[in-house]
Structures are given as C-alpha cells and as structure tokens.
Structure 1
C-alpha cells in the first residue's frame, strides 16, 4: 500500500523524500470553529454529568418543576448514553476480528502496488505494447533495481514515507525494523512479534518483500536501531474516536426519518430490506424495463447517510424522473448508532451478494441462470450488455463500487466516480489526511470531528478496512478509456485524497476525456453545490 506513479520531469534535483514534513500553522478558521462548534457539542456530556451529580447530591430534583425535571431527564439520558458509548468504543478497540485475507492474494496485490508507476508512461498516453488488450503497462513490468536518482525511485520513496510517523518521516530515518513492522501488517493484518519469534515462512515473506521494496526505492534500507519512526497500520493502531452526545445521534436519526417520509410522499420512493441490505428505490410507473433508460444505483459516502445528500438526491429524482433510482443504505457509515449493524458493516462478499441479489430481484441485471452466459459474452466482446445499471459512487461508496466491478464487471455498464478514494488508496495520502494528520483548518476540524472520529466511521475504517479488496486499479474498470462509459470527477483542493495523483494515475493509462478535474474543487463539492462539476455529472448521466 505505498506508492507511486511515473513523473514527467526526468531531472530531479532534490530528493523530496528527505525534505522534512512541516505541518502548516493552524488557521484562524480552526480556532473559530473549535470554540464555536466543537467545544459546545463536546461539552454536552461533561455538563450533563456535572448537572446529574449535583442534583442527586443535593436532592434538588424534588423541588424542580416540569421544566427542571425534563432537563434532568435529558441530562440523565446523556449520562447513560455516554456509558453505553464508552463500552462500544472499548468493544472495537481490540485487534480486528476479520483477520487477514488470503496471503497469496495480499502478496500478489503488494507486487501490483510496487509495479505501479514502473512503466515509463506519459500522461494522455499508455504503453504501446498493450494496445491490443487495452491494458496498462505497469502490471506487466518487472521489478528491477532502480538507481537512487531515478525519478521513479524518488517518487516511490516520497509516497512510501507517508506510511510512517511521526507522519511523513524522512526516508533516511526509516530503518529495516520499521519496514518489517509495516510489511507484517500488510500481509498478516496484525502486530509483528519480535523477529526471533517469526516462523521461517513469515521471515521469508518479509525478506522477499523487503528486497523488492529496496529495488523499487533505489536504496538499501539500513539495518540499524529504530529512531522512533512508527509505521501507520490502519487496522491495528488505536481507534481514534471522539465522544458526541445522544442529542447529536437523535438529531441525525430524526433528520433521516423526515427525509424518508419526504421521499415517500414527494417521489413515491419505496424503502425495503433485502437479506439485511436496506435501501430505498424509486421506479417510475411509466418506466419500461426493455425500452426505458437504464436504472441508476447511487453508492453514498461517509457522513449522515441520506440527509447529507438531500440536495443531490432531489436533483437526481427531479432531473431523472424517467429512470429508476436505487440508494443502498449503509448505517455503519451514516451515524445510525441505533441500528443493529452499526458496528458490524457488511464485508465485501456479503455486500456484493446482497446488492447483486437485489438488482436481480428488481430485474435490472441478468438472473442467476443467465449469469454464466452473460459473463462469458462480456469477456469475449467487452461490449455493453442489454441489461445492467449505471453506478454512481461518492467517496467511500467507491469501495463498494470497486467490489461490484471486481466481482461482476458486466453489471455496471456505466460508472461515475466522484472523489474516488478507492483509486490510489494503496498510497498513504487518504489514510494520512483523514485519520492521522493533525487538523490545521476549520474544514479539517469539521471533517475530523463530525465524520472521521465518529464511532461507526472509525470502526469501519480502522477495524474493517481491507486494502486489497478496496484498491481499484485501472484494469478493474470496464471501458475505462471510454468517456461515455466512465467518468471520474476530482477536486484539486480535496482534503482527503490526493486528486492530482489520482488524475495522473488515470491519465498515464490513457484516460483523458473521462476525467473532470476542478483545480479549486473540494471533497464532495460537485454533489452539494451548483457548478461545472455538478453540471458535468448531470449531463453525463443523461446520456443513457
């Protein structure tokens, strides 16, 4: 999970991996929002505890009127909820329960990561030797020893150090023991025991991977005592959760409840559940499965579920009133703490099985008895199928999008990725920016407190994240170079993913017209505000 793309500039005067990372000074917006928004909300729980303890200690509750008793009941509810919340945090603070996936699969994926950027490709072009099968050159490259000043090696070292702390340590400060600890997590998803307790097989796996890393980096990693550098190991590091009051979760639940009723009454939406996968669907009465426009599936990201997409959903339902819309609900990333599966998100296989089963039940994709023939036809012709759906994903939703494309590429006949964190997630930018990087601006603070450190989100990302499953490679995207079939929307000021590197990764593999890049765009901006990004998405969706 490290890595890299080729660079256009073939003359690198400075080893950027040796430039110390200096955290920017905190902006005024950080302190303003911290004092006016975060502190008041954070203070609800200690104030509730203080009030309840005072009332019980003095016995003043018997002299309260109805207003006083209501305030005490609310405060007492906050106290009980804070104890419950604390227990939930403790329950997810241990090691991940899902363990590691297949070792061979992880090794193969890690090699694929190391090969990314090895092919000497330029933007808006691709490996000429791969024209016949329309695949990029990087998967076919051989990992050879690079020179230390090779731009590919320099870029690799710069990207890899994002996986070390105190975050983005200089490359020379990273020692062999630090890399071993990182690689052990990559392959085994757990804490590395002392080297002398490793089995022969485990040590061989680490040594082989280390050798490839050194070749790719163009430098030998010194076998010296560690100088305090710690690798980022997302799923076994301490879970970073900030408390929030019961009132917050009740407001989020109430907002989504009102939106649910609005969708039903205004657009005829229907809510349902398929084998544990909850969703809402709107199917126009006049829609015809044979001649009608393809159904649209919208996979949402982290936050407040439907409520945060209210404006965008309104646009979709209003501007695409002649096509069906499916919106799968993901309570574990929607701050629905009252849901039975709040801390048990659907793993990849279960999610894909349920989603595909639901699509079949709706009649939007081939039924089971036609699946093999349909898939074989797709493999042979690489053409669009007579049935299928248009998939639109945002941020975290691109992971679910990725799972679907890897398992059933023929079902998503068109794909739109908005702020796709799945592309280049093997690099450290997303992990560093969203979870580990200290906040310096007001927007960083709001994103971290209200989303990143919320219990359900933190549990999903820090205990259930599988980088092998979540990594979306160019070759995983059907018709990636066809702008009518694939659209990627990126913002240059995205505070989570490194949009420029995602753009470069795709453009060096021949994707050009299918990328919309707004240099001033922020994460999620095309979905919540009018502008060229929003208009580009709507125009692209109207094509079919």
Structure 2
C-alpha cells in the first residue's frame, strides 16, 4: 500500500487515468476511423502497434468486459438460514462488541443521519445480516422486533417507526460495482506474476499447477504452468510449496490477501527460513511452507470464488499431499486470507491439525462492524492510498464479485472462542485504512482473568500487570467500564508473550505495509518461527 503524500497522490491518479481511459480512447479511435474511412479503415494510418492496441482494447471491452459484467450481476446463492438459537447467539455476540452504537448504525447506513434510520430501515438491514435475504418481513417479524428492541437499548433511545430516507449497505444483495481493466493492465499483472514465479523458484519453492485442461480458465494466462512438473491435487487451487525437512518443527500454511498474488510476499516467504539474511544449511532448520493461491482475489479473470466447504476440501487435499493426515501446522494468513482461516478453524477434520495462528491485518475479527465492508466497497477515495485501494482492488471484477456474491459475513467472522485455546498473534497497523484496528486490538486484549492483575480495594480502580515485569499500573474505571484512553497505551506496547492471544502493534503502518519493511517482517517471522517450535 502506498502512502498519503502529494507526490504519491499524483502518481496514483496518473496510473489510474492512463489505465482506465485507454479503452474509451481506443473505442473512440476505432469508431471515428470506421465512420471517416469506411472499409478502408482497415488500412492503418498510424504506427501498427497503436492500431493493434486500439483494436485489441476495443474488442476486449465490447466482447469480454461488457458481457462478463452483466454475467457477474447474477444473484448470490446465500448459505442456509441459521437456526433461531444460532441467530440469537450471533446477535448477542455482535451487540456485546459494538464500541460506538450510533457510529455503527450510521456507517451501515452509508453515513445517513440517525433521524432517517427508522424501524423498517433497521429491519431491512437485519433481514440481510441475520436472515440472508431481502424483501419485507414475514413470519420473522416478531424476531426482528426483538432485535430492534435490543438495538434501542444499545442506542439508549427509541428507533422511530416507519421508513426513513436511509439506505443500508447489503453487500450480497446490492449491485456488483466494478470498473473496466485494460489489456495493458492484464499484461502488467502477467509480467509481475512471472517475476514472482522466478523469485520463489530461486528461493526453493515449487509451483503446483492445476490440470493443463484448465489453462484457458485463467487470464492472463500463466505460461509457466506449461513448464512445471508439479501438479496440484485440487481442481481449482494452485499453490507454492517448499519441502518440510525439519523433524523438530511445525510446517507453515500461508494464505494471502486481496492483491496481485504473491509478489508482495516474496521477501516474507523467503526469509521464513533464514536468520540475519542467511539461510541455514541445516535440514532440521528448514520449515516447510505451503502458500495457497486464491485466484479470484488476485486481479485475474477466472472461476468464481469457491464456497467454504469446497475451498476447505481443496486445501485439505493439498495438506494431506504434503503434510500427511496427522501433521500439525502453523496457520498464517493476511487480510482476506484470515477469512480462509475462519473457514479452516470451523472445519473439524482440518481444525484438529491447526496449531498456533498468526493473523496479519485481519479482516475477519469483529467483521460485524461496518468498517471493512464500507471502507473497501463504498468509501469515496480521497487520499492516494484510498485511490489505490478503490481502483486497483475494490473495483476489480474478480474482487468485486467475490465480495458482493461470495462473501457472507456471518460465515466469515472470527470470534476469540473459535480459537479454542490456541496460541494466536494478531499483527495490527495503526493507520490501517480498512480495519478498525483499535477496536480489534481492544477486543483481543480484553482478557480480565489473564491480563488484569486483579481489582484493587477501591471499586473504581483496577490494577494492570505490566508484561515487561515492572510494577503494575493503576487505571481508573468510568462507571464500571475500562478507561480505554489509558489501557490503549498498555496493550499497544505490551511485549509479545507467546502464550494465549498476543497483539503486535505497528503504529505508523497502513494495511499490508508490514511486508514492505524488513524490520516489521522480521517481527512476524520471529513469531512464526517461535510457533513452529511447538510439537
């Protein structure tokens, strides 16, 4: 992710304008050429390369983008309706973890005034969020009334009856919003993919392709697939593998986030088996790595995102191929990959083999909060990093379709209880433009029995253990609730313990920037290497 400086702002705007308006200019050129010259338009009047690009971009826009965009507007196939008890429990968990109820409601309603968010508006939102459907209330109206009443208690005021002018964000029901990508852009993606291939090969990774009969189901085409002898046991899922030779350490499964594939992670993956930049020749130091590729969120034109069960089944096939049926492993994931982590943790046959977990810029924790959905899909970009996120990620055809038709928040959300006592480290960035990392950090670090040293004799004071070993500090409570202005500083600076839930806080980093700096990467690598020691 780029920064927010003026030079970066102008740079990203130039890139967006150059890539986005290439197709309209090509269409205008071809149309005017035909109108002015008729059948003689085929005889080129400018350098051949310009003619070729103009015709190719025009055909791609008319014959691929327009029909594909219409195709991707098909309705989502929602998962089965949870039971009444499951809905009640999910609603309770959500309500118990809303830092600012008014801001929560307004953001789900795209910034509408509270006076315009009325009872029927809230029911429309709840029908999508907890019942996986749109339309008016039916026999579920009584249950909806229960939820609205509990929301009124949370807000501390009644919600007016009837309809207001507010419109809520209903990700899997709303239009799939996307912007055209030029052929030149896909050529860039293909070139970066080839660089990634060569880099990971150099560092001892093997690329495992799917069947060659699926070669044309992915664009830009991966010609490196024609030269690898390694095959994926899964139908759709390709991956990178580095053999596990250590007999005393756990291997690692890694899942990337939305972006251009594994290019931003090459240094991170290659450094997992090195110390001070030098790779050990000791086989017992060589930790095996499987890096799963999620093509629908990697700026490609390909198959739609796999459902939860199908994706877990394919990842399980891959792990059985390399790790075997009993081998535990460290599970690490970044951003969208943390959603895959949620699915794996909720799959019984896989969960029993999952050891410690590392979540980097996690989007799955507190996913009921509107920040991830709003910031990624609805926020109008202003700064350079927001423009980069909006154009290159949010408006990509595959990414937009995945989030709008195959992203079901109630399946993807991760609660602390889902960790089932595993050791876990979350890497959070203070300037994250997608996730409310402060809310996530507070939630993860709010552990009264393990973190708080115990209540003092004074009812409005609480003693906090300093993990560095120094004297405990005392923080004042406000009406029985923690004074987060003080405790924020404590959990953000707390030393990594390696037991229970840990948070690594990067105050000055944005989403995904943790992989840009060797210093911040090494912090993550140290955690993963420590977790690999668990047998």
* TM-score relative to the length of structure 1: 0.76
Q: Counterparts of 2:107 and 2:126 in 1: how far apart (Å)? A: 14
In the TM superposition, residue 44 of structure 1 has moved relative to its aligned partner by 0.5
Partner of residue 342, structure 2: 402
Larger RCO: Structure 1 or Structure 2 (Cα < 8 Å, ≥ 6 residues apart)? 1
Q: Which deviates further from its counterpart, 388-397 or 264-273?
A: 264-273
Cα distance in 1 for partners of 2:143, 2:9 equals 47
Asked if 1:177 corresponds to 2:120, the answer is yes
Q: Is the 8 A contact 1:277 1:355 kept in 2?
A: no
C-alpha separation in 1, matches of 2:42 and 2:56: 18
Q: How does 1:165-244 map to 2 (within 5 A)?
A: 165=110, 167=111, 169-193=112-136, 198-199=137-138, 201-226=139-164, 228-244=165-181
By how many angstroms is 1:503 displaced?
Answer: 0.3
How far the C-alpha of 1:34 sits from its partner, in A, is 5.7
Q: CA deviation at 1:115?
A: 4.4
Q: Which runs of 5+ in 1 are unaligned?
A: 1-25, 118-151, 367-386
Structure 2 CA distance for partners of 1:263 and 1:524, relative to 1, 3 Å? same
1:524 paired residue among 492, 512, 519: 512
In the TM superposition, residue 260 of structure 1 has moved relative to its aligned partner by: 2.0
Q: Is the 8 A contact 1:106 1:186 kept in 2?
A: no
| 1:339-360 residue CA offsets vs partner (Å, 9 max, x unmatched) | 3x1xx11111111122123212
Distance 1:363 1:314 in 2: 20
Q: Which residue of 1 aligns with 2:476?
A: none
**For 1:361-388, what per-residue CA distance to the aligned partner results, in whole angstroms no more than 9, with x for missing partners?**
223442xxxxxxxxxxxxxxxxxxxx31
Q: 1:103 to 1:534 in 2, by over 3 A?
A: same
Correspondence for 1:273 among 197, 219, 232: 232
Q: Secondary structure at the match of 1:391?
A: strand
The match for 1:307 is 263
Asked if 1:74 is matched to 2:53, the reply is: yes
SS of equivalent to 1:298: strand
Q: 2:411 aligns with which of 451, 469, 488?
A: 469
Partner of 1:361: 321
In structure 1, the residue matched to 2:291 is 327
Matched, 1:159 2:73: no
The structure 1 residue matched to 2:21, chosen from 43, 51, 60, is 43
**Aligned residue pair count:** 443
Shift in Å, 1:60: 5.3
Shift of 1:323: 1.2
| Stretches of structure 2 lacking an aligned partner (at least 5 in a row) | 209-230, 281-285, 452-490, 497-501
Q: What's the secondary structure of 1:423's corresponding residue?
A: coil
Task: Please say if residues 30 and 445 of structure 1, whose CA atoms lie closer than 8 Å, have aligned partners that are also in contact.
Answer: no
Between stretches 488-497 and 181-190, larger displacement belongs to 181-190
Q: Partners of 1:352 and 1:216 in 2: how far apart?
A: 37
Q: 1:294 aligns with which of 230, 233, 250?
A: 250
Q: Map of 1:58-73 to 2, 5 A cutoff?
A: 58=37, 59=39, 61=41, 63-64=43-44, 68-73=47-52
1:18-43: per-residue Cα shift (whole Å, max 9, x none)? xxxxxxxx985686246422111111
Q: TM-score, normalised by structure 2?
A: 0.77
- 1:76-130 Cα deviation digits (max 9, x unpaired): 121121121121111122421335543547614532334424xxxxxxxxxxxxx
When residues 318 and 86 of structure 1 are mapped into structure 2, their CA distance, relative to the original with a 3 A threshold, is: farther
User: 1:266: Cα distance to partner?
Assistant: 4.6
